[in-house]
Structure 1
Amino acid sequence: MTDIPRRAVSRTAKLAALPLGFAGRTVLGVGKRVTGLASEVISNEIQQRTAEQLFSVLGQLKGGAMKFGQALSVFEAALPEEVAAPYRQALTKLQEAAPPLPAATVHKVLAEQLGPDWRSYFLEFDDKPAAAASIGQVHRAVWKTDIPVAPAGRRRATKARSGAAAQAESTPAGRPVAVKVQYPGAGPALLSDLKQLSRLGAMFRAIQPGLDIKPLLSELRERISEELDYQLEAESQRAFAAAYADDPEIFVPGVVASAPQVLVTDWVEGKPLSQIINSGTEAERDQAGRLMATLHFSAPMRAGLLHADPHPGNFRLLPDGRLGVIDFGAVARLPGGHPEPIGRLVRLALAGEADAVVAGLREEGFIRVENPIDAQAVLDFLMPILQPLSVEEFRFTRAWLRVEAARIANPRSPAYQLGRQLNLPPSYMLIHRVTLGSIGVLCQLEAKAPYRGIVERWLPGFAPVP
């Protein structure tokens, strides 16, 4: 048995064992009924033990478990602190301590993807990975500057635009690059992990009732083929780099070369957002939050794309104050920018136009045509969520998100009952998930910024037509 299948069997066994451990603890916690929020459902001890077991296992895994953990990580700000703490520890493992591929395996992938003479393209290549991702790992290297175009047949390469080149600080000796190498067998491992994770819905409901992981897992499964294609990712990254070339606020590294399972881009040096969340200054937090919101709302209009993986590991605050953005495997294609109805309906809601909001939501499919609904109740449901856009400046906080999560997830809450009458059209699902994820990161940062002004500038329909 090779190393890769052996790891896959071990991973599957660990995931499969989780529901059994949860069932045992549930029996020990007899007498509790699932009628409200987590603190009312299960004792803190059982809730915390469930979280610790789940997140400790996720923290040991790659593949779909790692991708799922990263996607869900942006919502940890909504969890009680005693539950969120083990989650954050597991995510640190996911991002910093995943077992690396052996150097020989890395070299084999590079030879298959870039050709047997792959070493001739680099002045230096560090066999020790600088970072681990869900489907691949990143190595630091130095690309020869006298190879501006890739050899034919294996990959494509481009000269960096001026902004990317300046950040990478190329010298006559070479160009600092990040080389992302996909794990062999990553596709089947992802599908296997996500299938196993679909069994864990009860565990997540124990940690936070109202948290439904099935739509997230379904979306991850649908997007696997795109994320496994590094040449498709390279095309998306080139589009972002072109849109933000020489931008004073957003930096996107240039693509140097690409193959189906290897991607070479300019190296990005900066402070990871995870570090800023843990120990950054208030100024750093506010700057990072403002720039994340700017990227989220401006990218569809500028690049025709939405960065769809907003977890902190994909962002860096650069020494010059710009936001460095990496990993473009997950994007939403929005050639016309964000859908205009989003901005228009938010503006109408803030203006108190309840009937117009309901009419617009019904037209877009958020409310089924045959469903009668109280317009004022819909407005009451939306207004707390829209609070950040009702003022000139707003500070996102974990406390704010916990209140909103409790309001929407408590089965005895009017907001919960009204939410069950609303529908999420498939065309809005990815935008909705990415927007919620971005809000989760802003709450982790506890960032204050003029979010209303950012939305007025970039969200179609939000500013009234003069």
Structure 2
Amino acid sequence: MSRTARLAALPLGAAGRATLGIGKKLSGRPAEEVDAELQQRTAEQLFAVLGQLKGGAMKLGQQLSIFEAAVPEEVAGPYREALVKLQEAAPPMPVRTVHAVLAQQLGGRWRERFRAFDDVPAAAASIGQVHRATWRDGRDVAVKIQYPGAGTALMADLNQLARFARLFATMFPGMEVKPLIAELKARAEEELDYGLEADAQRGFAAAFAGDDQIVVPRVVASAPKVIVSEWLEGTPLSAIITDGSREQRDRAGLLMAELHFSGPQRAGLLHADPHPGNFRLMPDGRLGVIDFGATARLPDGLPEPIGRLVRWALEGRAEDVLADLRVEGFVRQTVEVDAQGVLDFLLPFLAPLAAPDFQFTRAWMQEQAARIGDPRSDASRLGRMLNLPPAYLLIHRVTIGSIGVLCQLDARAAYRGVCEEWLPGFAG
């Protein structure tokens, strides 16, 4: 079956299962039991399809996995295991194709650059896969190889997935999937350019060289479709989410926040793909970062108004918050809103910074999602009156994605202290 046909079958399968479910309910089976069975079957079909595809389907699955924590448990349960699998696994390309790409990108004598090369991929993702190897100087390295035709497949998948955004919306209530797909399409060209990715990785590696909290592997060699960088041995965050200790969860959460807020100040770059497959907790306690395909260039660091607005909100300065939101374009000049109402809308989101430490939980994120997702609520009505300026769109999406991972980790840490150190405007 073709890629398009497999995707097209998704809504048909969902409709068929829904009809079957109605029949089972009419026959007397408990509604809760039938609904749970339908969720399980839909999850199995959805991620069987996404798991067979590369390109956009894989990337969308990874992005959705970040936001899983916002979904109520009765909906999220059947999807969680499949989502986590998507973060670390995809079908490998044939060995002969791997060798052909390496010869094209590194030269016909590419084997002479390596002491050893493992033909079995160590990991696979949306547009490429990673092989473990030993460089000619004895260093263990990761060789990231882009799938041939990845660009065409990526755009074709994203165009198809945009047609089925409503199906994803039924499984992830309150999540706007169409804007997420639109952003993935807009950034696709950048992510396909391994030269840009290698440059970003070099920037991060230089900024965090010798750091006692964050480790970024150095780039050993690069080409338009191949990146060779130092190998990092550590525990994937997906494994910590599933089986990690309390200490590991808290440590990983704190260091993810450290990377998020310090990267723009130290490197002029924001790591923009916070799904768990991109991070490792190292044996020495540092956070290893292994993918830089999605980065935002912020040469002046995070915008100062973000920190200032958060500080004023926590101080209860409603009128000042509203005035600055208008200046920055979050509230259009023609929109009439109540300053205290805006502050009441914002404060629950800022709870992680209102106290010296905070524990992110799925329940907290689900509460926030429900608060703004119910179209009948005051928070939802007010949220629809607010605007997200283009300059803040990516920062917002990455921040929300990072929070989703922190909630999956169930991580408790001193996040306020991280912002006091690294977020411009927050400490006054």
The two structures have a TM-score, normalised by structure 1, of: 0.87
Q: Distance in 2 between matches of 1:117 and 1:358?
A: 62
Match of 1:104 in 2: 96
Q: CA 1:414–1:50 in structure 2 vs 1: closer, same or farther (change >3 Å)?
A: farther
Stretches of structure 2 lacking an aligned partner (at least 5 in a row):
23-30
Give the match for residue 320 of structure 1.
284
- Please list, as runs of the form range in 1=range in 2, the aligned pairs for 1:38-437 lying within 5 A after superposition: 43=35, 46-145=38-137, 174-437=138-401
Q: What amino acid sits opposite 2:340 in the alignment?
A: Q
Runs of 4+ that moved beyond 6 A: none
- For residues 213-241 of structure 1, give each alpha carbon's deviation from its aligned partner in whole angstroms, at most 9, with x where no partner exists: 11111110011111111111000000000
Q: 1:292 to 1:196 in 2, by over 3 A?
A: same
Q: Aligned residue pairs: how many?
A: 420
Alignment deviations for residues 291-314 of structure 1 (CA, whole Å, 9 cap, x no partner): 000000000000000000000000
Change (3 A) 1:74 1:97: closer
Letter in 2 for 1:383: L
CA displacement 1:47-90 (0-9 Å, x = unmatched): 55444432332233221111111112111011122432332222
Write the distance in 1 (CA, Å) between the matches of 2:109 and 2:355. Answer: 58
1:447 to 397, 411, 427: 411
Post-superposition shift, 1:400?
0.7
In 2, Cα distance between equivalents of 1:331 and 1:205: 27
Q: Secondary structure at the match of 2:348?
A: coil
CA spacing shift, 1:435–1:96, aligned 2, 3 Å: closer
Q: Which stretch shifts more, 18-27 or 259-268?
A: 18-27
Letter aligned with residue 209 of structure 2: A
For 1:377 and 1:324, the matched residues in 2 are separated by 41
Partners of 2:89 and 2:369 lie apart in 1 by 31
1:14 to 1, 6, 26: 6
Asked whether the equivalents of residues 309 and 330 of structure 1 are also in contact (C-alpha less than 8 Å), the reply is yes
- Equivalent position SS for 1:223: helix
Give the superposition deviation at 1:29: 6.7
CA deviation string 1:358-403 (max 9, x = no partner): 1111111111111111111111110111001000010001111111
CA distance in 1, matches of 2:280, 2:172: 30
Residue identity (%): 68
Hey, what's the Cα distance between the residues in 2 that align with 1:299 and 1:97?
A: 27
Letter of the 1:274 partner, please give it.
Answer: S
Give the secondary-structure state (helix, strand or coil) at the position aligned to 1:263: strand
Between Structure 1 and Structure 2, the one with more helix by share is 2
CA distance in 2, matches of 1:17, 1:75: 24
Instruction: Write the letter of the residue equivalent to 1:316.
Output: R
Per the normalisation by structure 2, the TM-score is: 0.94
Question: 1:45, CA displacement in angstroms?
Answer: 5.0
Instruction: Return the alpha-carbon distance in structure 1 between the equivalents of residues 40 and 328 of structure 2.
Output: 40
Q: What is the identity, as a one-letter code, of the residue corresponding to 1:176?
A: D
Q: 1:328 to 1:18 in 2, by over 3 A?
A: same
Whether the 8 Å contact between 1:347 and 1:463 is mirrored in structure 2 is: yes
- Structure 1 distance, partners of 2:199, 2:282, is 24
What value does the CA root-mean-square deviation take over the aligned residues?
Answer: 1.8
Contact 1:270–1:318 under 8 Å retained in 2: yes
